[in-house]
Chains A and B, each alone.
Chain A
Amino acid sequence: MAADIKELVHPLVVRVTHWINVVAVLLMIASGWRIYNADPIFDFSFPDELTLGGWLAGALQWHFAAMWLLALNGLVYVCYGIIAGHFRRKLLPISPRAVLRDVRDALRGRLAHDDLSVYNAAQRAAYLALIVALIVMVLSGLAIWKPVQLHWLAMLMGDYEGARVVHFFAMAAVVLIVIVHVIMVILVPRTFPSMFTGRIRRAS
């Protein structure tokens, strides 16, 4: 039997920023839910046990500390993705028809993910959507934080109150994509170690 070849599928920058992003997004969402609970915009609150900060001021402290982690880490990732050609190589091209086909196959449990070095169309769509949702999240967050100094940004989202709604739905999108992502990793567990080692074993 031929020896296994270990192939690099996730560059170091992607792995490091991925795990920092996990921490940052968890901190932002858990503290954000507590902040939401102080004045819910819809007819429900998040369970306090799932939130971070203990009370509004504590949650705000976490939120406005972790935002630096989220934004700076995200900046490194996006710059790397563009400059190193990572986005172009891994996330493009993407066609709506292929996305629909792969999502349909995935729902039927028939989507193959044999070659871990290539993302299928459903993955490309999900990862791109997550990047966009996080960018919208940061921008709407800035609009809520600075509705006077960044008034032009707030006006793009329907002023302060509009930005709150945009911020909420961007959060909901992020949570949804993360849940699907984690389910997929559970269904195809051999993808998990490669997010640490960066490599997959490929029989030659």
Chain B
Amino acid sequence: MSNRMGGSFLAHRTPQVANLERRLFLKRGLSVGALALLAGCELTDAESVQKVLWAMSRWNDRVQDWLFDPRRLAPEFPESRITRPFPFNGYYSESEVQVIDGTDYKLELGGMIRDAKPWRLPELYALPQVSQVTRHICVEGWSAIGKWSGVRFSDFLQRVGADTTAKYVGFQCADDYSTSIDMATALHPQTLLALRFADEILPPKYGFPMKLRMPTKLGFKNPKHIAAIFVTNEYPGGYWEDKGYNWFSGS
């Protein structure tokens, strides 16, 4: 469309129009110069721009906390909707996935938890289990539907005497990953200490021996290979969060 318009414009080219074009060219040249200046400002003020962007991200944390309805459930799907194969994702490639020995494994607890004794896998498998078929949404944009089963996290927190008035629950993982979540999401009924994927013991690529499954947060907030859980009032940050991804990242 613009080509045809341009052609028609050229057909009516008069000296006045040519003159106009020259002036326009100059004007546009000026705007390019102005843009270059702006870019220069951005380079020198890069730090203050970063500060503003981080402050906006903290503001968005607060807005999302306010938007989060602890009773609203993420949609669940029939098993026929499950994405097969379910994609692998992590900060390393699939060939570098940690293979953890389940017999030696102990889940450590820390922070504001009354009964902070470590948990072995058979003890966790013996707790009441629930399942969900929900959509996992990656911060990159893609989504996939999967089935996870495990212990409802709010039940687990109650069982170990966690102080649920604290602000944060933090996760330290065997693959040197870490993340943290708000207490409201930790207590959400669909937040699971997932031990199984598609009815099988969680395979290494999906986070053996356990991952925290939250259909109310983006994928990177769902830590795999959890080694330690702690409850705290001090902002723990996380692997991707410290690099600039939004902390709350709620769905």
- Report if B245 contacts A (CB, 8 A): yes
Of B8-16, B100-108, B148-156, B196-204, the stretch lying at the interface with chain A is: B8-16
A164 touches B141 (CB 8 A): yes
Q: Return the contact of A148 from the options B53, B54, B74, B245 (Cβ within 8 A).
A: B74
B19-53 CB mask vs A (1 if < 8 Å, else 0) is 01001100000000000000000000000000011
The residues of A that contact B56 with a CB separation of less than 8 Å are 61, 64-65, 68
The residues of A that contact B243 with a CB separation of less than 8 Å are 57
The residues of A that contact B244 with a CB separation of less than 8 Å are 57-58, 60-61
B240 touches A149 (CB 8 A): no
Q: Return the contact of A189 from the options B8, B24, B69, B74 (Cβ within 8 A).
A: B24
CA distance A106 to B12 in the complex (A): 14
Output the least CB separation between A139 and chain B (Å): 15
Q: Return the contact of B137 from the options A65, A106, A108, A147 (Cβ within 8 A).
A: A147
Of A36-44, A87-95, A127-135, the stretch lying at the interface with chain B is: A36-44
A147 touches B141 (CB 8 A): no
B142 touches A39 (CB 8 A): yes
CA distance A36 to B142 in the complex (A): 10
By beta carbon, the residue of chain A nearest B67 is: A149
CA distance A58 to B128 in the complex (A): 42
- Report if B140 contacts A (CB, 8 A): yes
Known contacts A39-B142, A57-B245: does B137 contact A160 (CB below 8 Å)? yes
Q: Return the contact of A109 from the options B1, B9, B54, B67 (Cβ within 8 A).
A: B9
B92-129 CB mask vs A (1 if < 8 Å, else 0) is 00000000000000000000000000000000000000
Q: How many residues of A contact B (CB 8 A)?
A: 33
A56-76 CB mask vs B (1 if < 8 Å, else 0) is 111011101100100000000
The residues of B that contact A148 with a CB separation of less than 8 Å are 72-75, 215-216, 250-251
Q: Which of B52, B68, B138, B139 has the most CB of A within 10 A?
A: B139
A68-116 interface (Cβ within 8 A of B) = 68, 106-109
The residues of A that contact B52 with a CB separation of less than 8 Å are 65
CA distance A161 to B135 in the complex (A): 11
CA distance A160 to B4 in the complex (A): 39
The residues of B that contact A183 with a CB separation of less than 8 Å are 2, 5
Enumerate chain B interface residues (CB-CB to A < 8 A).
Answer: 1-2, 4-5, 8-9, 11-12, 20, 23-24, 52-54, 56-57, 60, 67-69, 72-75, 135, 137-143, 215-216, 240, 243-246, 250-251
22 contacts between A and B (CB under 8 A): A35-B141, A38-B141, A39-B141, A39-B142, A41-B141, A57-B245, A60-B244, A60-B245, A60-B246, A64-B60, A107-B4, A109-B11, A147-B135, A149-B68, A149-B69, A149-B72, A151-B72, A151-B75, A160-B135, A160-B143, A183-B2, A189-B24
Enumerate chain A interface residues (CB-CB to B < 8 A).
Answer: 35-36, 38-39, 41, 56-58, 60-62, 64-65, 68, 106-109, 146-149, 151, 159-161, 164, 179-180, 183, 186-187, 189
